[in-house]
């Protein structure tokens, strides 16, 4: 049995309600329901979304005192701005996969740099909601050795 934490950063609470051409029509709640229903065998999931950087950092820190085996994070715009989120993920020493719904490399230049990618187990971009599933499978495989 393993437990994974799925984190979503700022504005991702708007999924399915704005910009369907970029982010699709699935809401965050639907995404979380789908992931729970189709999680890899033996894997339980917990979800957290915040628009507040400090709240996200606090949530990441709590992983140090919890039986969390892996993190999937779509850091949203913090990807391109936040040394603080990087430092938090670095501190907890739990493997994480960085997910982007859109192909950030096919978008504006400011989305091409990530403060997280070089310390991530893997980076997935442009696969839509399926990217979260790929991330969970990647973590599951890694944890099984
Ligand atoms: O492609 C991704 O998943 C992003 O992480 C999404 C971020 C963006 O800043 C990154 O560059 C790439 C933005 C999330 C905004 O989410 C919305 C969802 C629906 C409607 C409006 C925004």
Atom of ligand 1 nearest to the CA of 100: 3
Q: Which of 23, 52, 61, 132 is catalytic?
A: 23
Ligand 1 and 19: CB distance under 6 A: yes
Compute the distance between CA of residue 50 and CA of residue 134 in angstroms, rounded to an integer.
Answer: 22
Check residue 145 and give its pLDDT.
84
Compute the distance between CA of residue 93 and CA of residue 138 in angstroms, rounded to an integer.
Answer: 17
pLDDT category at 17 given cuts 50, 70, 90 is: very high
Phi, psi (degrees; rounded to nearest 5) at 126: 90, 10
Average pLDDT of the chain is 97
Give me the helices (H) in the chain, please. Answer: 20-23, 28-37, 53-62, 83-92, 130-144
Check residue 47 and give its pLDDT.
98
pLDDT tens track for 54-107? 999 999 999 999 999 999 999 999 999 999 999 999 999 999 999 999 999 999
Which amino acid residue places its CA nearest to atom 13 of ligand 1?
Answer: 76
CB 119 within 8 A of CB 126: no
Residue of 82, 102, 130 to mutate, ligand 1, most atoms within 8 A of C-beta: 102
Find the 6 Cα to ligand 1 centroid distance in Å. Answer: 15
Report the percentage of the chain scoring pLDDT > 90.
Answer: 98
For 13-33, b/e burial (b = at least 16 CB within 10 A) is eebbeeeeeebbebebeebbe
Find the 92 Cα to ligand 1 centroid distance in Å. Answer: 25
Structure tokens of 115?
Answer: 């403060």
Which amino acid residue places its CA nearest to atom 2 of ligand 1?
Answer: 100
23: annotated active-site residue:
yes
- Average pLDDT, integer, range 115-137: 98
For the chain, helix, strand, coil in percent to 5 are 50, 20, 35
SS3 105: helix
100: annotated active-site residue:
yes
Radius of gyration of the chain (CA): 14
Compute the distance between CA of residue 140 and CA of residue 145 in angstroms, rounded to an integer.
Answer: 9
Structure tokens of 132?
Answer: 């979260």
**CA torsion sign, 32 to 127 to 58 to 28?**
negative
């Amino acid at each position: 049995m393993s437990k994974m934490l799925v984190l979503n950063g700022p504005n991702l609470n708007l999924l399915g309600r704005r910009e369907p051409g970029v982010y699709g029509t699935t809401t965050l709640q639907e995404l979380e329901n789908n992931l729970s229903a189709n999680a890899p065998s033996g894997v339980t999931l917990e979800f957290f979304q915040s628009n507040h950087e400090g709240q996200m950092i606090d949530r990441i820190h709590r992983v140090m005192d919890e039986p969390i085996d892996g993190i999937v994070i779509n850091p949203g715009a913090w990807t391109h701005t936040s040394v603080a989120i990087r430092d938090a993920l670095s501190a907890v020493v739990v493997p994480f996969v960085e997910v982007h719904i859109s192909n950030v490399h096919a978008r504006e230049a400011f989305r091409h740099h990530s403060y997280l990618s070089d310390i991530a187990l893997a980076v997935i971009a442009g696969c839509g909601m399926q990217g979260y599933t790929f991330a969970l499978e990647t973590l599951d495989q890694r944890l099984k050795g």
